[in-house]
Structure 1
Amino acid sequence: MRIPQYLLLLFFLPIMPTAFAQVDSTYIGKFPQEYSARLYLSRKFVTLNSDYPDADSKEYIANSPFAIGAGFTWGNSGLSYSYGFGFLADKSKGKTRYFDLEYHYYGRKIVLDFFGMDYKGLYYEDKGRDILEMYSDAQITNIGVFGQYVFNGDRFSYRAAFDQVQVQLKSTGSFLLGGGAYYNRVRADNVIGFRKEMYQIGPSLGYAYTWVINPRFFVTGSLTPGVTLGFKSLDDKIAWNPSLFFRFASGYNANDWSVNLSFLMNRLYVSYEQNNQVGISSATLQLMLIKRFDSQSRLLKKLPRL
């Protein structure tokens, strides 16, 4: 299926209902407002990384534009949508046709990430040597799910860091245990002489921590390394490859508004042999402005009644 260049990374239902479980209210608080509206600017980075012993490490990058989005939340539920405008992409770096879906669920104890992307058309740039090369036939496909169990979910809140529908009151962290399952396909014959299709599944172990600098400002980071078992069929030779999931968020919470900067990165290696290391990296950088209000807000009173 041919996907137009301007079709953007779509976030659908970024906030799902969470279980009504008890949390330590001295560590996790909530805002008095029930509703919130959000505007955000995001950028998706997709790269194919190659590392050979007799050659320099190189990154082949998809040329995707910035995305502008909006969303609305009520209680523990929400809906948001973003769209990438083609004119925001650098046309000198070639054309990338792509389809990209992401969904992130931050529960009290369970965190889930779903990915579905297909990018065709990459470029390589070396500014030091004034080199810019385009590879229109290079293609990356990645479909997968990644899940984690948050051991200290009673005191540590991912939702406070990334959704900001809660607020982290005290600094704390949590160990993370989980894993992922993926389908990956790389077609880069004319780029690095590499073509591979495989399924990958494996565990991960990590740690997350939120530093509450003051009652309004926080910084959160989590790092989750893992290993995957890769195969094309049940009769195929099994390959063990490393993986890495990194999250970062920083935000400021006022009485009825917040600002948030977040970065998510997932790297999977489809080959990790001594003479051939090829990895797929996908990352999302997002800047978000949130305005909260309650049922007595003048804005809601102006809306037409059904």
Structure 2
Amino acid sequence: MKYIFLFFCIGLTFNGFCQETVEKDSTYITSFKHKIILKANINTQTESYSIQKNDTENFSLTANNNFKFTLSANYEFLGLSIGFSPKARNLPYKTSFQDIKMRLFVKQWIQSFQYRRVRGFYRDGEILENVQEQFPHFKTISWNGTTSYVLNPNFSLKHVLFNTEWQRKSAGSLIPNLRYGYQRITDRIDSLKEVQNIYSISLATDYYYTWVIEKNWFVTPAISPGIGLRFTDYNLDKFNEQNTLFTTALNLGLYFGYTSPNMVIGANFNFDSKASNAKTKTNIISDRSYAKLYFGYRFNAPASVKKQVDWIKDKVKK
């Protein structure tokens, strides 16, 4: 039933786009690409995995970081963000967390690249002898990419997610996405190294609609159904297992905030659901919800930064 629902959502959004063609209207969007925006946010998104030891034992591992902080900067066609997480006070051990993202903005195209590293997990929901079981060697490293295209030129995804533009009139758009990535999961079982390599590719059709309220305020609901393939390669000593999985995903989002020429502030609420047609030794947990609060400030770029970016633009044009 869930597969039918996802295919229905994808077909419905494509059908909606085919019924309407939109010409660009300069009154809908104000661009701030010639200003730097620095933004800080805090979110509650957690890192969790489902571990399948055998046919009867299945448990979850969760990273020890209840809150994550991200600092980001966007200017012209470039964007960079760095995420980190403090140690949770209620647990005696910590999680090492790194999240680096780079973005490129080219007209209605948005290209993003991500490097993510997380090490140090604990067994979720079970405490043995007043001690929560620790998995200090469980580590994940991911390289991910997303290529997106905003079909409606009067809708600004950069306003909703990156705050480099200002949506002045209500509008919405379909946004096809191609997502791809490689993830390496490692652990130690006794003296043996456990390794799982995951290669994934998926297609998603996002739909966002921004309601502009009293010029400065906005509310944007979003839905993103997706389908894809995941290839896994699991190794433990001489044992090897390979799988090809069909995956589905559904993301629901609600974004709202305040925008002005110099300042932005807002919050996001998201729900992610992911599933595959088979279980592997280590699988991504589905059905997660999280929230994010952010604050940003725009200012004119220093002459030295402007000079360097202009030099890059000139080289690209050549």
- Give the secondary-structure state (helix, strand or coil) at the position aligned to 2:71: strand
Are 1:93 and 1:132, in contact at CA under 8 Å, matched by a contact in 2? Answer: no
Q: 2:263 aligns with which of 249, 253, 257?
A: 257
The 1:231/1:149 distance shift into structure 2, 3 A limit, reads same
Worse-matched range after superposition: 157-166 or 121-130: 121-130
SS of the residue 1:92 aligns to: coil
Cα distance, 1:70 vs. partner? Answer: 6.5
Indicate conservation of the 8 Å contact 1:34/1:292, yes or no.
no
1:247-279 C-alpha deviation (Å, 9 max, x unpaired):
55322023532213346777765x542798931
Partner of 2:122: 123
Report what 2:108 is aligned to: 109
Give the match for residue 246 of structure 2: 240
For residues 130-160 of structure 1, what are the alpha-carbon distances to aligned partners after superposition, in whole Å with 9 as ceiling and x for unaligned?
A: 98443223222322112222211x1110111
Q: Which moved more, 1:110-119 or 1:57-66?
A: 57-66
TM-score (structure 2 length as normaliser): 0.64
Distance 1:210 1:78 in 2: 24
Choose from 272, 275, 278 the match for 1:273: 278
Q: CA deviation at 1:124?
A: 3.8
Aligned partners of 2:138, 2:78: CA distance in 1, in Å?
Answer: 36
In the alignment, structure 1 residue 181 sits paired with structure 2 residue 180: yes
Determine the C-alpha separation between the residues in 2 that align with 1:59 and 1:144.
23
The DSSP-based 3-state class of the residue aligned with 1:161 is helix
Which residue of structure 2 lines up, in the alignment, with residue 289 of structure 1? 295
Which residue number in structure 1 is paired with residue 7 of structure 2? none
**Secondary structure of 2:139 counterpart:** strand
Structure 1: gaps spanning 5 or more residues: 1-21, 302-306
Aligned equivalents of 1:34, 1:219: Cα separation in 2: 25
Q: Which residue of structure 1 aligns with residue 197 of structure 2?
A: 197
Q: Per the alignment, in what secondary structure is the counterpart of residue 94 of structure 2?
A: coil
For 1:157 and 1:275, the matched residues in 2 are separated by: 39
Aligned to 2:27: 26
| Alignment match, 2:40 | 40
The amino acid of 1:118's aligned partner reads R
1:163 CA displacement: 2.5
The DSSP-based 3-state class of the residue aligned with 1:45 is: coil
Q: Contact conserved, 1:202 with 1:229, CA < 8 A, in 2?
A: yes
1:18 corresponding residue in structure 2:
none
Please tell me whether the aligned partners of residues 121 and 136 of structure 1 are also in contact (alpha carbons under 8 angstroms): yes
Match of 2:306 in 1: none
Residues 217/117 of structure 1: CA separation in 2 closer, same or farther (3 Å cut): same
Do the aligned partners of 1:102 and 1:115 also contact (CA within 8 Å) in 2? yes
Shift of 1:118: 2.1
Q: Which residue of 2 aligns with 1:16?
A: none
Counterpart position of 1:14: none
* CA distance in 2: counterparts of 1:41 and 1:58, whole angstroms: 31
Q: Describe the superposition over 1:169-211 as per-residue Cα deviations: whole angstroms up to 9, x where unpaired.
A: 2222111222211112334687xxx963221123222312212
Contact 2:59 2:124 in 1 (8 A): no
Kindly provide the amino acid, as one letter, of the partner of residue 48 in structure 2.
Answer: T
Q: Using the alignment, how far apart are the partners of 1:126 and 1:161 within structure 2?
A: 35
* Between 125-134 and 207-216, the greater mean CA deviation after superposition: 125-134
How far apart, in 1, do the equivalents of 2:51 and 2:137 lie?
17
What is the alpha-carbon root mean square deviation over aligned residues? 4.3
Instruction: Say which SS state the counterpart of residue 197 (structure 1) adopts.
Output: strand
Paired with 1:238 and 1:85, the residues of 2 have a C-alpha distance of 33
Distance 2:81 2:279 in 1: 42
The whole-number CA distance in structure 1 between the counterparts of 2:268 and 2:25 is: 25
Q: Which amino acid aligns with 2:249?
A: S
Letter in 1 for 2:64: N
Q: Bigger shift: 199-208 or 245-254?
A: 245-254
Question: Which residue number in structure 2 is paired with residue 136 of structure 1?
Answer: 136
Alignment check: 8 A CA contact 2:118 2:139 kept: yes
Q: Is the 8 A contact 2:269 2:291 kept in 1?
A: yes
Aligned to 2:71: 69
Rounded Cα–Cα distance in structure 1 between residues aligned with 2:51 and 2:198: 17
Distance 1:149 1:55, change over 3 A: farther
Going from structure 1 to structure 2, the CA distance change for 1:237 and 1:125 (only over 3 Å counts) comes to: closer
